[in-house]
Amino acid sequence: MKNTRRDFIKTSAIATGGVLAANSFIVPGAYAAPETHLKLALIGCGGRGTGAVFQAMETGHPIKLVAMADAFRDRLDGSLKPILDKYGAEKVDVPEDRKFVGFDAYKHAIAEADVVILATPPGFRPDHFTEAVKQGKQIFMEKPVATDAVGIRKVLKAAEEAKAKKLNVVVGLQRHYQDNYRKTIAKIHAGEIGDIVGGQVYWNDGGVWVRPRKPEQTEMEYQMRNWYYFNWLCGDHITEQHVHNIDVANWVKKGYPVKAEGTGGRMVRTGKEFGEIFDHHTVQFTYEDGTVIHSECRHFPGAANRVDETFQGTKGTAYLSAGNHGVLTDYTGKKLYEHDRENNINPYQQEHNELWAAIVNGEYKFADAENGARSTMTSILGRYATYSGKVITMEEAINSDINLFPDTLAWDATPKLVPNADGFYPHAIPGKTKTV
């Protein structure tokens, strides 16, 4: 039987007592040249993908960036330059014929690598993840992992295949790799504040970038560049950002809600440059045991910001945030636990430290895709509730056949959502819009 790279990594790791040193990557086979690095490909060369390559390199493992893929050449070039400047030709070897551009670029870049980083807008993740699993690669993929239920079902299917193939998959829900969350939630699960009976999770801030339309752009290129504001690409900010906090609620509750109801709309951010997404959503998620978690996200410039999670138990309360907070109190106000916030490792780094250590040691340790899909689905359930104005069950939501993805991917193809004659896009109207 042909040796796969994984078999090789495993065998080498065993041969070296679990620690794989540089120079030990000798691929089995009569004429194979010695390899000294694990080969990395970046799919989606924007802010986060570029950052993730830096974090991979900073693990200190023998890694070489060998291929890059982006829809746009200028984005690829803009990402490669700082990586090359920092790490040099020894760790960055991306010649012209391994720079892939366009909608099919991902397939070619994935084929060049042992490990892939998937960091495009989330609408593409189901297809890119499916392909990476099909090609048997180790995977870091950013959240969210899809933008509609059709995409989620694809990711769940590929997640099963990844497990069967024992491919490590880490999803960039980095709170799972952040010490304050790990330690505080372990205490919650150990019963320190009793059973969790309620909670509130927030992502309230002023919003994100806008990429203005240029006259030469086709509608497809404009939506791809200004992707945040189109649901087939982004999923709305309840999915793109607030998934982090919703995922914490699921983690604390050790499950996923059974139904959601909520309210949302476009109140302060109504211009045509904001596409179709809402600027606020408030949702009540009900879990199987009757617990209700209140979720709130909004993009109101100038209003109060809040990004954190609180929970009420039968014996006390919990407060968590990405600023390394983790506090448990009883109902007299007495502190039961306070996480030490000093010297905590950046979770974006930690997720790579753990993933790459597993890969280098030939271990199969990470199967994040299913939770990534179910937490992303929870945020989509919230959007289905606010867009429709109806109570939506998870069962209905996950089986929704409303597919946001374009029928054809090409620069001159027409996305499903197009603007009216004045340049404004139709958006959901609660009470009228159908989501399941």
Ligand X SMILES: NC(=O)c1ccc[n+]([C@@H]2O[C@H](COP(=O)([O-])OP(=O)(O)OC[C@H]3O[C@@H](n4cnc5c(N)ncnc54)[C@H](O)[C@@H]3O)[C@@H](O)[C@H]2O)c1
Which residues contact ligand X by CB under 6 A? 43-49, 69-72, 75, 103, 105-106, 119-122, 124, 142-143, 172, 174, 224, 240
CA 90 → CA 50, 63, 84, 117, 380, distances in Å?
18, 10, 9, 20, 42
Closer of 227 and 311 to ligand X (Cβ):
227
Whole-angstrom distance, CA of residue 188 vs CA of residue 154: 33
CB of 78 to ligand X, least distance (A): 8
> CB of residue 384 vs ligand X: minimum separation in angstroms?
19
Closest CB to ligand X: residue number: 46
Q: For the CB of residue 147, give the shortest distance to ligand X in the complex, in Å.
A: 10
Q: How is the chain split among helix, strand and coil, in percent rounded to 5?
A: 35, 20, 40
Smallest distance, ligand X to C-beta of residue 118, A: 9
Q: Which residue in the block uniquely carries the two structure tokens 């039961």?
A: 336
Task: Tell me phi and psi for residue 23, to 5 degrees.
Answer: 80, -5
- Of 72 and 364, which has the nearer Cβ to ligand X? 72
Which residue lies nearer to ligand X by CB, 8 or 228?
A: 228
Please report which residue ranges of 226-329 form alpha helices under DSSP H.
237-240, 243-253
CB of 304 to ligand X, least distance (A): 21
Specify the residue, 71 or 367, whose C-beta has the smaller distance to ligand X. Answer: 71
Nearer to ligand X (CB atom), residue 53 or residue 392: 53
The angle that helices 5-15 and 347-360 make with each other, rounded to 10 degrees, is 80
Question: For residue 144, is the peptide bond before it cis, meaning its omega torsion is within 30 degrees of 0?
Answer: yes
DSSP 75-131: HHHHHHHHHHHHHHHHHB---GGGEEESTTHHHHHHHT-SEEEE-S-GGGHHHHHHH
Please, what is the minimum distance in Å from the beta carbon of residue 195 to ligand X? 30
Neighbours of 87 (CB within 10 A): 17
Phi, psi of 313 (to 5 degrees): -110, 175
261 vs 368, beta carbon nearer ligand X: 368
- Alpha-carbon distance of 436 to 426, in angstroms, equals 18
CB of 238 to ligand X, least distance (A): 12
Min CB(200)–ligand X separation in Å: 21
Closer to ligand X at the Cβ: 46 or 151? 46
Residue closer to ligand X by CB (options 291, 378) is 378
DSSP secondary structure string, 43-91?
ES-SHHHHHHHHHHHHT-S-EEEEEEEESSHHHHHHHHHHHHHHHHHHH
